[in-house]
Amino acid sequence: MVATGGPVATFSVWDYVVFAGTILGAAGIGLFQAIRSRKDTSSNEFLLGGRQMTAVPVAMSLTASFMSGITVIGTPAEAYRFGAAFWLFGFSYAIMSAITAEIFVPLFYRLGITSTYEYLEMRFSRPIRVIGTSMYIAQTVLYTGLVIYAPALALNQITGLDLWGVLVATGVVCIFYCTLGGLKAVIWTDVLQMVVMLAGFVAVIARGAILQGGLTKIWEDAREGGRLNAFDFDPDPLKRHTFWTIVIGGSIMWTSIYSINQSQVQRYISCKTLTHAKMSLYVNMVGLWVTVSLAVFSGLTMYSIYKYCDPLSNGDIATSDQLLPYLVMDILAAYPGIPGLFVAAAYSGTLSTVSSSINALTAVTMEDFILPVCKNLTEKQINWMNMGLSVFFGALCIGMAGVASVMGSVLQAALSVFGMISGPLLGLYLLGMFFRTSNSIGGLTGMIIGLILTLWVGIGGQIYPATAKKTNPLQVSTVGCNNTVGQNYTRLHWTSPGNVTVQPDGRPALADSWYSLSYLYFAVLGMLTTMVFGLLVSMITGGCKQEKLSSDLFVKKNDLICFSCCNKSKVSDIYEKTETDLPMGLDNSGYIDLEATTKAVTTKM
């Protein structure tokens, strides 16, 4: 196929039918779970699915939660413009899965927590828990706004779907099934949405292979276009994507997302056994590999089709985030319903992430802010508050979508948000889990310094984007276009904050050094700064020698044994917690259930 540019077809009736059917299917799952669980309306059931989930659906939910509409749209555009280096994130996913499954899962699981940030109170102090929860809420609301807005904008400009109509519809559907069905509805809806996302990628690749004469032709075009030169071993931390930035920086960034982010932790601690919880991370790793592979190959397929007529350079689209929607309407419009499937795939990713965020935000707000203050609430009152908070956070995320319009390229902007905030938080957790000498003063000081540095470099990088010398965009062509507008084209059409070339006039001295730091190193910077300054200040202020801390709060040798198949214990059989062992953070429902029903021995693990 020779692409020559120009307008593409719009949605047909069948496309609307397929799209609407997917949205209604998600809502139907939420309603089904609500009816199925109507006899158990406890907070534990609503927020953690009764802690009876199994590995495979939880794994698919973990994958869908952060393989969002941003991934569906942003990753293929990344591969089209910068090549297959994004495939190297497969190494990051493997490292992240091992660290999370073998270090964080056993710790959180045996503590029986509902909110991830309960650990911060158990280990440090109540103020640190409140600060950590507040940072998470701010990060999640901003990220979710980005997830809602960016795919909707790209699809609106290509398909003609009403922008704000779809935004509101997305929020309403998520609020509906999150409010009615709780975590079980979120997880099982994610399973459906994951299948739809993968089907959307397969449809693009299959049609592209038919048009181009096979997968081999696509691969050969990508090789000739320099898209397969993924292994860049340059150690320069200012280069956006190299082997080291992706494997080292990407591993730390994704660890900060999966190990301490409430949206993810809430899923694997809902598993009925520790083995299921660990297994969900490893199955999720395979799901991430499959998803990123299909997304990257979709980008290579797009390059093979548009190698002689780049739609962005030709003026057919306004931003790189519209590349894949443009391709879909270009090559699949002749098959009624298939473009609707792709749009459903993008919105399935959006729905999965938004619903996960709403459920997690509800959990941390209840566990970290409301229940510690209002200790006499009845189960019915707690249930109504859970549903009310789901509605509130759903509306807040829709409102935050407007902020996302100034964030640039969806993929890098989304990952940058996590690096800037989750990096310092990860450093705080590691400080508490591995170093007995660290105390509240040191932990808080280190986290604040780490947060200041990551926000400084991250916001500076948004204001003063790195030059093409550091981002390395690959060559595109318009020689085969019918309506080339190259005379008006500049590199400013590459709108990603890390990928534009701007004139040096007015750039500060830090713009080409500090502000050009790869966004993948934001989490590394925040983590290391928090740990180093946290340890130094802790030692200066006397450590925590006077405090009696339970050994359950630290990583144990037995935690590092992969797949402890001999341990079939449920969460309610692992540890008996007493007020002496855990002087703080005893207000969570998981602890109350444990205290009332278990008499296990603390030396069991």
SS3 per-residue string spanning 436-490: CCCCHHHHHHHHHHHHHHHHHHHHHHHHCCCCHHHHCCCCCCCCCCCCCCHHHCC
Distance, CA of 544 to CA of 285 (rounded, Å): 37
Of 145, 193, 151, 482, the residue nearest 325 (C-alpha): 151
Give the residue carrying structure tokens 């299909």: 294
Distance, CA of 534 to CA of 438 (rounded, Å): 7
Q: Quick one: pLDDT at residue 574?
A: 40
| Domain 13-37+54-597 coded CATH 1.20.1730.10 | yes
**Amino acid identity of 548?**
K
Q: Quick one: pLDDT at residue 249?
A: 94
**Amino acid identity of 509?**
A
Report the predicted TM-score, pTM, of the whole model to 2 decimal places. Answer: 0.81
Cβ atoms within 10 A of the Cβ of 237, count? 17
Of 23, 19, 10, the residue nearest 355 (C-alpha): 23
Question: 518: which residues sit within 8 A by CB, 6+ positions away?
Answer: 237, 238, 239, 240, 241, 242, 245, 249
Sign of the Cα pseudo-torsion (31, 33, 35, 41, in order): negative
Supply 69's token pair.
């509409």
- Taking only the tens place, the pLDDT of each residue in 351-392 is 777 777 887 888 888 888 888 888 788 878 888 888 888 888
CB 585 within 8 A of CB 373: no
Distance, CA of 120 to CA of 131 (rounded, Å): 10
Distance, CA of 12 to CA of 15 (rounded, Å): 5
Region at 543 (left for phi over 0; alpha for psi -120 to 50; beta for the rest): left
Q: Quick one: pLDDT at residue 130?
A: 92
103-130 average pLDDT score: 89
Of 514, 499, 379, 487, the residue nearest 42 (C-alpha): 379
Supply 596's token pair.
């009332």
Q: Which residues pair with 271 in a beta bridge?
A: 53
Instruction: Parse the chain into domains and list their residue ranges.
Output: 13-37+54-597
- Taking only the tens place, the pLDDT of each residue in 2-52 is 566 666 667 788 888 888 887 787 777 767 766 776 555 555 555 555 566
Distance, CA of 393 to CA of 361 (rounded, Å): 7
CB 97 within 8 A of CB 320: no
Region at 182 (left for phi over 0; alpha for psi -120 to 50; beta for the rest): left
Q: Quick one: pLDDT at residue 442?
A: 93
CB 8 within 8 A of CB 158: yes
**Amino acid identity of 248?**
I
Distance, CA of 244 to CA of 119 (rounded, Å): 32
- Taking only the tens place, the pLDDT of each residue in 133-169 is 998 888 888 778 777 776 676 667 666 767 777 777 7
Of 600, 580, 554, 579, the residue nearest 108 (C-alpha): 554
Phi, psi of 322 (to 5 degrees): -95, 0
CB 514 within 8 A of CB 460: yes
Higher pLDDT, 214 or 375: 214
CB 424 within 8 A of CB 533: no
Of 135, 18, 69, the residue nearest 444 (C-alpha): 135
Question: In the predicted model, is pLDDT for residue 431 greater than 90?
Answer: yes
Higher pLDDT, 10 or 257: 257
